[in-house]
Amino acid sequence: MARRQSPAPAVDSSQDYTENIVDIDVTSEMEGSFLEYAYSVIYSRALPDARDGLKPVQRRILYMMSEMGLRPDRGHVKSARVVGEVMGKLHPHGDTAIYDALVRMAQDFSLRLPLIDGHGNFGSLDDGPAAPRYTEARLAAAALTLTDHLDEDVVDFVPNYDNQLTQPDVLPAAFPNLLVNGATGIAVGMATNMAPHNLVEVISAARHLIAHPDATLDDLMRFVPGPDLPTGGRIVGLDGIRDAYATGRGSFKTRAKVEVEQLSARRTGLVVTELPYMVGPEKVIEKIKDAVNGKKLTGISDIVDLTDRKHGLRLVIELKNGFNPNAVLQQLYRYSPMEDSFGINNVTLVDGQPQTLGLVELLSVYVGHRIDVVRRRTAFRLGRKKDRLHLVEGLLIAIVDIDEVIQIIRSSDEAAAARVRLMSIYDLSEIQANYILELRLRQLTKYSRIELEKEQDELRREIAELEAILGSEQRLRELVSDELGEIAEKYGTPRRTVLLESEAVSPTVAAALAASNGKGKAAPLALEIADDPCWAILTASGQVARTSNQEALAESGPRSKHDVFLSVVRTSARGEIAGVTSQGRMLRLQVMDMPVLPPMSGLPNLAGGVPAKDFITLLKGESLVAFAPLDEVLAIGTAQGVVKRVQPDYPLNREDWEIIALKDKDSVVGVAPAGSEDTDLVFLTRQAQLLRFGAAQVRPQGRTAGGMAGIKLSDDDQVLFFSAVKPEDDAAVVVTIAGTTGALPGTAPGTAKVTAFSEYPAKGRATAGVRAHRFLKGEDTLLLAWAGHGPAKASSLAGVARSLPQEHGRRDGSGIPLSQPVEVVGPAMAWLDQAPPDPA
């Protein structure tokens, strides 16, 4: 059915109508309207105020939550309720914009000092927050310092959008929120992007500026050296930061915090624990995978995100064997968000006008605002105290003759008459008279004269103090400074972001820089590790590692307690060596898989290896005895005195094989290269017997042979040490430490003895040898024994290595008592810093 339309009203031709058409220039109208719109966006939405560092929506959220009583000591409420209150009363814009601003103020990765205490899913760097109906919020403790004393006339209030309510034009802001939390916003024709800073540093600079109003930028930068980002990371290069502090514009590079870690015995990785500001792990993973698939990044085998709430960010980038971690890291900085740039643009509102401010100007505006806030607060409190004092003085006058006061009131016809009579009789003001008339009879009991006089004295003291503050600019500034100090002490946290003048130079990068021929720019790092000469090392505590170069063994660096070099083999980074176990097995090992000892001032750190049991698969009760080359004749000694020289005819298609057939309960105690028949083989037993004989007496055998008799042992004796020594080595020594069998390790010092190896005569194979150490009373065994090239240096346990060879001419003499117990860690000397390989 068609809708019926009403007929148009008839035009009365008897009346005159005047048309008024105004011609407007479109260009002028567009310019005016656009400028009005632009100013509205700049002033009312996008840019923060330099005084409290807040945009209008943020200020309204904090003020409304304060009015709602959402304090830190009270329960959370639904975020939707806060959004509704703000939108309905103060902010006539969409709820999405209000909620987004609330969420940002609750994110600890966005703000250095969050202002909202959120409960629920407030999002992450990779994901958005839950809907406002699911999350809850209340004010954080720090936010209370922004809204404190609003009821004391500290700032001006302005009408809201419909003139029914009022809102603060600016918050009191007890700390420099703009610098501490930063800001970001895009207006029309301009934008702002300000970095967060450390609260303690910023307040220290503000206090210095209060005490020294003419402070320079250099003075303030001693307190604020650079931004302190919520997510930590590293800032590389400080020139851009100084430019930003001077002019308000600048940029700097931020990098992730990355450590090279040994993920397993054979796998190295880059572990990321901090990322650049506003960069999430999922974005990093995505970019790295794209770069790997696009062949821009090489050397990466896998990337795993192990981030959790308990341990925080942990991004593990596993590397392929043979790739230089520092070179891969440089590639990651180039092709992934692990290095990012932050552009500072300090555009903010000052007296309603957008301005670009440097550090000095930003702090000056804040300090001026804070001084004005404290002055107004002091004046308000002074007025309140004076008003109260005026009432107390009136009560003191009336209480002297309270019965007559009551009689005057009772005899008066009305309140006005009573007021006039009180004012005339007792010389009271109208305010004092009204206050007395409004008192209830039950209140008169508490107003004793002593209490009122005490209150009067206290009020006069407080008034004098407030007047002194208002009368002295110096005292006012000191009060502001002291309050800032209290805020810093209460809410301050240590710096998270590391500031670097330039990129930290690792030894590898330093080598590349040296290869640049002094041009100041490092040469590109080799991505794959070169087949450079190095040492493969097995320590007495069972650590497996390799050095970065063969010269690094000139001296030893820091080490674990009592740890020493047990076996050292010259090889190359991409070479192969053998590992010999106590059960007579030989394993083929890739040197590339061994962790590199971290250098300390150019020296290898013995504590930087991995346990042998994690590096190779050992059988139950089996241990790794020594490293050995795969292309030399080896001499093997066992605990039961068996010796064997084995030919290097090892299988090429196997990773492990047997190199000696051991008898029941026998085990390998030592392995040494013995390709030259001029080499002497040395046995040392627990009963202090030493046998030295030429390697020519032991014919080389195949790897399945069981060896031959090496040293003749007594029934209760066994071999403690076996090795090969060059007889022409004048620096060769024999070191022994005696002790008691029943003593616990580390409890009996015993005696130590160092004797020149040449003092011991060569004997025939399968003989008992000669006495190496005469036991003193209470000693019945050797705890440690060692023979070979003399140590480079000895530890504090004994200048023994320097003095004993001269003092003990008799090879079968007793040792010198040790000054402290010796921890038994293996067949090497525990108190020697190192026993280096034969220098030849």
Query: Which tens digits make up the pLDDT trace of 513-547?
Result: 444 444 444 455 667 777 788 888 888 778 888 88
- CA 586 – CA 309 distance, rounded (Å): 46
19: pLDDT confidence band, cut at 50, 70 and 90? confident
Percent helix, strand and coil across the chain, each rounded to 5? 35, 25, 45
How confident is the model over 728-746, as pLDDT tens digits?
Answer: 888 788 888 888 887 776 6
Crossing angle (nearest 10°) for helices 359-399 and 473-491: 110
Which tokens belong to 544? 């497996």
pLDDT of residue 790: 65
Asked if 480 and 370 count as a contact pair (C-beta separation under 8 A), the reply is yes
Strand partners, 643: 637, 708
> Which element (helix H / strand E) includes 405?
helix 402-411
* Superfamily in which the 530-631 domain is placed by CATH: DNA gyrase/topoisomerase IV, subunit A, C-terminal (2.120.10.90)
Looking at the predicted structure, is the pLDDT value of residue 480 above 90? yes
Within 13 Å of residue 379, how many CA atoms lie on the same side as its CB? 12
The token duo for 525 is: 């790092």
Residue 215 has pLDDT above 90, yes or no: yes
pLDDT at 494: 95
Distance of CA 79 to the CA centre of its chain: 32
Residue 15 confidence class, pLDDT cut points 50, 70, 90: low
Reply yes or no on whether the pLDDT at 670 is more than 70. yes
Least confident segment among 17-31, 397-411, 686-700, 727-741: 17-31
Q: Are 322 and 529 in contact (CB under 8 A)?
A: yes
What pLDDT was estimated at residue 601? 43
Alpha carbon 379 to its chain's center:
46
Beta bridge partners, 94, equal none
On whether the CB atoms of residues 279 and 337 are closer than 8 A, the answer is yes
Listed as own residue / partner, the contacts of 433-436 with beta carbons closer than 8 Å and 24 or more positions apart are 433/394, 435/391, 435/394, 435/395, 436/394, 436/395, 436/398, 436/405
Size (the chain), residues: 840
Structure-block tokens of residue 711: 């040293």
Kindly state the percentage of the chain with pLDDT values over 90.
Answer: 52
Question: Residue 178 is which amino acid?
Answer: L
CA angle 220–226–229, rounded 5-degree value: 135
What is the three-class DSSP state of 468? Answer: helix
Mean pLDDT across 19-47 = 76
Cβ atoms of 496 and 234 closer than 8 Å: no
Q: Is the pLDDT of residue 107 over 80?
A: yes
Contact (CB, 8 A) for 471 and 479: no
Across the range 760-765, mean pLDDT stands at: 91
Selected residue with higher pLDDT from 146 and 504: 146
Q: What is the 3-state secondary structure (H, E, C) of 329-376?
A: HHHHHHHCCCEEEEEEECEEEECCEEEECCHHHHHHHHHHHHHHHHHH
Q: Give the pLDDT of residue 732.
A: 85
- Give the integer Cα–Cα distance in Å for 536 and 556: 14
Predicted pLDDT of residue 26: 83
| Torsions phi, psi for 3 (to 5 deg) | -75, 135
Judge: domain 668-840, CATH 2.120.10.90.
yes
Q: Determine whether 37 is an active site residue.
A: no
What local confidence, expressed as pLDDT, does residue 805 receive? 40
pLDDT reported for residue 811: 64
Domain 530-631 matches domain 668-840 at the CATH topology level: yes
Catalytic residue among 17, 134, 161, 335: 134
Instruction: Report yes or no on whether pTM surpasses 0.85.
Output: no
| Mean pLDDT to the nearest integer, 548-575 | 66
Residue 556 predicted with pLDDT over 80: no
- Which of 300-304, 310-314, 470-474 comes out lowest in average pLDDT? 310-314
For 176-185, the pLDDT digits (tens) are 999 999 999 8
DSSP track, 60-79: HHHHHHHHTT--TTS--EEH
Mean pLDDT of 203-212: 96
**275: which 2 tokens?**
């990322």
Average model confidence (pLDDT) across the chain: 84
pLDDT of the residue at 323: 85
Architecture of the 35-53+174-249+341-496 domain: Orthogonal Bundle (1.10)
All residues at 6 or more sequence positions from 525 whose CB lies less than 8 Å from its CB, including other chains? 324, 326, 327, 330, 508, 509, 512
CA 664 distance to own-chain centroid: 55
Of 261-275, 482-496, 679-693, least confident by mean pLDDT is 261-275
- CATH number belonging to domain 257-337: 3.30.1360.40
pLDDT at 831 over 50: no
What is the structure's pLDDT at 806? 38
Q: What is the amino acid identity at position 631?
A: D
Going through 143-284 in order, the beta strands assigned E by DSSP cover: 157-159, 166-168, 183-186, 191-194, 234-236, 249-255, 257-262, 268-274
pLDDT for res 401:
83
Question: Whose CA is closest to 150, among 170, 122, 176?
Answer: 170
List, for residues 582-630, the tens digit of each pLDDT value.
999 999 988 888 887 765 444 555 666 788 887 888 888 899 999 999 8
Top CATH class, 55-172: alpha beta
**The predicted structure's pLDDT at residue 561:** 52
Phi, psi dihedral angles at 125 (to 5 degrees): -70, -15
Among the listed residues 227, 224, 233, the one whose alpha carbon sits nearest the alpha carbon of residue 280: 233
pLDDT at residue 183 in the model: 93
With a cut of 90, say whether residue 102 has pLDDT above it.
Answer: yes
Q: Are 426 and 395 in contact (CB under 8 A)?
A: no
Listed by start position, the domains of the chain span 35-53+174-249+341-496, 55-172, 257-337, 530-631, 668-840
> Picking from 78-92, 389-403, 703-717, 790-804, which range would have the lowest pLDDT averaged per residue?
790-804
Q: What's the confidence (pLDDT) of residue 13?
A: 56
Contact 253, 339 (CB under 8 A): yes
Q: Which residues of 51-65 are buried (b: 16+ CB within 10 A; e: fewer)?
A: bbbbbbbbbbbbbbb
pLDDT band of residue 754 (cuts 50, 70, 90) is confident
